[in-house]
Each structure stands twice: as C-alpha cells, then as structure tokens.
A and B are shown apart, each in its own frame.
Chain A
Amino acid sequence: MVYALGRGCLPRILLVEDDVPTREMLSRRLAKRGYEVAEVGDGSEAIAAAHAAPPDIILMDLRLPVMDGWTAASYIKADPRSRAIPILALTAQAVPAEQEQAIAAGCDDVDTKPVDLARLLGKIEALLGARKPA
C-alpha cells in the first residue's frame, strides 16, 4: 500500500461517472490503492476539471448526461492544455463498436464494467508509465 507517500506524490485520477454508487465504489477502491481521486458526474464538468486541476489520468464513463464521454474526450484531446492527459474510457457496453468509437474520439484505452480491478489498475499503470518514461 502507498499510504506512506506524501499527498503531493499521489497520482491524481479524475473519475467521470454519472452513476453515483459506481462512482463512490470506484473512488474508494482506487483511494485504497494510493491514488488521489477527484469525482465529476458528466462530460462538461470533466472538461472544466481537466483544465482547473489537470489530473495524471482521466477515467471516463461514456454514457453521461449533459455531455457524453466521447464528446468530452474529443474536447480534452483537442485542447493543448489538456491534450497530454491520458484518458481511459470505462464502458458497460460490451459491443466493440462503442469501444472503437472511444478510441476514435481520442481515448487512449478502454476498459469494461463491471470492473476487474486488477485489470483496470494494470491499464492505469500502463498509461501513467507511458506518460512518464522517467
């Protein structure tokens, strides 16, 4: 466990999820693994949060109210201020088309819900590692 690390050292995750129980559950489980988690409930809040306090990675649900995850991802990737933040799309949709659309919208990887935490952590670490080669 990484509790010993200072607050500033924790990798920051922006969790974008409209289903409150799912968001709370994921947030707590990620916090237990030593991540600092910020939560928002829709795509437009995600864009605002990505600019206000840029996280190290964004976990993005795709079906969201107000602005969906595909649109939010494409905005975040189009903006030079937030382009470098890796986005891991989270979808409850098992059909490949939705996942392909996520990649096309600029997401760096896709994982499915229900969450397999070991698999999800592997993908998060891979994206964080790719971002910071040092």
Chain B
Amino acid sequence: MIARAPAPGPHGSESRAVRVLGVEVRWTPRRLLVLGAASLAYTIVFVALYRRLGDVAVAAAVLPIAAAGWWLRVLLVRVRTQARILADERADLQGQIARRIEVEAKLRSANVLISEARDRALAGARAKSAFLANMSHELRTPLTSIIGYAELMIEDAADPPPAGAARVDPVKDVHKIVEAGRYLLGLIDDLLDLSRIEAGKLPLQIAPVDVEKVARSALDAVRPAAAARGTTLALEVEPNLPPMRSDATRLRQILLNVAGSAVRVTEKGKVTLAVARDSARTGDWYVFRLSDTGAGMPPEERAQLISEFYEGPPVDRRDQRATGAGLGLAITRRLCELLGGEIGIESEPGEGATLTIVLPQEPPRSATSG
C-alpha cells in the first residue's frame, strides 16, 4: 500500500512524495526527525511501562493502536471518496476550459474578419470622399476657364483695351470656352460611366470583334494629339489573329483611354500598341501592350493609378499621366474586369511605361448577364 511517487517535490531532492493508501505524503527531513523522535519516545514509555506492569502494558499499548487503525481506515475511505468527486469535477472543469478556449479562438478569428471588413469599408469610404473632393477640383478647373473667359469678353466689350495695348481676337476666347466646355462634358460622361459600372448597370454587347480594326480606330482617335507633341504612333498586330468575342465599344474605350494617357505624357517620342495572343496562359487570351517613351512614374503612383480605391488625379498633380486624364484609367480598370480581364502597369521614372491589358477570347458568362 505504500508506493513511491516519481516526481520530486518543490523542495527538490530534500523531500520525497510517498503515497500511503492513496494519500500523498511528502517526507521532509524535519518530518522524518519528528517521526523518529515520536517512535523513540513511544518505545521508551512502552518499555518502562512493561517493566512495571507486564502484559497489561502490552494490552494498553496495542488497544489505542487498533482503535487508531480503524479510525484511520474510516478516514481514508472518506478521503478517497472526496478525491474521486474532486477528480470528476476537475475533469468537468477541464472540459469547460477546453470548450471556452475553442469558443475564444472562434471569437478571435471572427474579430479579425470584422476588423478586416471594417478596414476595407473605411478605406472605401475614405477613397470615396477623397474621390469626391478631387472630382470637385477637376470640375472647377474647366469652369474657371468658362466663367473667366466669358466675363473677360464682357469686360472687353464694355471697356476695350487702349489703342496701344495688344488685342486678342475674341473668337480665340470663345474657343477657350468651347474647349473647357467639351472637357467638362467628357468628365461628366466619365463620371456617369463610372457610376453605371459600379452599379453593375453597364450592359455589354458581346459579338465577334475585329481586334485590329478596333485597335487602329483607337489609335486614329489620339493621332492629332500625338502629332501635336511630335510623337509617333505604331500598331503591331500578330498576323492571323482570330476575332475575339467581346464588346467592341468597350474594348475601343479601354484602348483609347490607355493610348490617350500614354500620348499625354510622351513628348517627341513613340507610343506603341502591340496586340498578340497570350501564350503564357491556358485558354484563349489576348494581350494588349501599350508602351510609351514618356517620363515614367514612381511605383506608388503606378499602383494608385489603377488601384481599386482610385482617388482621382493626385493632389500635387506631379503625375501628368492622370492630370487631364480625368477618370479614364479608373474606368479602364473596371471595364477590363467587366470583360473578364485585368490591367497591369510597368514603369520606372525616366524610362517610360508599359500598360498591359489581358482579356479572354470571350468574357465569362457572369459578366454578360449584367
């Protein structure tokens, strides 16, 4: 009934835990000393009594021991019962702890999801309000010209400049008003397109598309702007390119936007649109590469330009690609997604830029149903 427990107690090698009838007893040197002293005292008293009283002393000594033994057994049974109850409760508590840890882990991962969703919503809201502020700025710039030139013409009519002063042909001033007005109209059209795309209300007209014809038409539209900057345009189409099934109007809009932004940043350089099948991907994909020899741009502006949270033209207008482009590139990115493809940009400051648009031969069904 006496077993040695393997683990040393908190006092290290000085104490040894021993199980006596299921109860753990810890032997310390001090306890052993007390026990030894008690045994010795008991023996001395017993021997002394035996000498005086003989067998009576033996009986007197044994009886309390027997009584103590019986009492000890009763006590041990109670202790064991109590220990079993405690062990059951302990197992129960451990089960509860395990369940709580599990629930806590679930709560923690739910919290992570919630905070991620909140961060996304906040980023979206911030981008929206930054977008509105920038839009307001973009709309006010042409309005400044429209109102300003109109007022200037009224002033000139009422109070002509003196004979010696340089005169400006009023028709030129009217042209400034017309230009600013057209620019404003373009901005408003872009805004409407963007809101239609975001609301999922831009229907696609999917039909066979002659890719080369659409690409040529987009380049032709930016040819006057390129000529004005002394920039040449080049179109390179892979021979025997089979037709795509896509939305010709939207494809042209995409190519026009990227070609327009490339021409805007390229003075006396070259803008090349290369169209080919994308052999790197499985399935039928078309890749449109628009490279320019313009100023290029640092990585952070590149990312911002086609990001999900496009905030409109940047505050300090250092990025000339976005300046005057209005919402073109933000629309382009969404149109590419609508046609089942994507847009990427590679550029280093001073080394021009290459915009890459990859579109599937046919948009996925989900895109056409909207």
Contacts and interface: CB of A to CB of B under 8 A. Distances in A.
Interface of A: 1, 3, 18-19, 21-22, 25-26, 28-29, 32, 63-66, 68, 91-95, 112-115, 117
Contacts of B137: 63, 91-93
A92 B318 CA distance: 17
B141 A22 contact: yes
B69 to A, nearest CB: 91
Given A28-B168, A95-B133, A114-B143, A22 B148 contact: yes
Contacts of A115: 144, 147-148
Contact of B152 (A3, A25, A114): A25
A92 B152 contact: no
B176 interface: yes
Contacts of A91: 137
B159 A94 contact: no
Contacts of A66: 318
B155 A29 contact: yes
B336 to A, nearest CB: 28
B140 A113 contact: yes
B173 to A, nearest CB: 8
A21 B145 contact: yes
A1 B159 contact: yes
B161 interface: yes
Contact of A32 (B133, B136, B159, B180): B159
Interface string B322-354: 010000000000000000000000000000000
25 contacts: A3-B162, A19-B145, A22-B144, A25-B152, A26-B148, A28-B152, A28-B168, A63-B315, A63-B317, A64-B316, A64-B317, A65-B318, A65-B323, A66-B318, A68-B316, A92-B137, A93-B133, A93-B137, A94-B133, A94-B140, A112-B140, A113-B144, A114-B144, A115-B144, A115-B147
A32 B151 CA distance: 12
Interface string B37-56: 00000000000000000000
Given A68-B315, A92-B137, A117 B145 contact: no
Interface residues of B, number: 28
B149 interface: yes
Contacts of B136: 92-95
Contact of A114 (B140, B162, B315, B317): B140
Contacts of B145: 19, 21-22, 25
Nearest to A21: B145
B320 interface: yes
Given A68-B317, A93-B136, A94-B136, A25 B155 contact: no
Contacts of A28: 152, 168
A33 B146 CA distance: 20
B89 interface: no
A105 to B, nearest CB: 12
Nearest to B143: A114
A-B residue pairs, 5 tightest by C-beta? A92-B140, A68-B316, A25-B148, A113-B144, A114-B144
A3 B147 CA distance: 25
A101 to B, nearest CB: 10
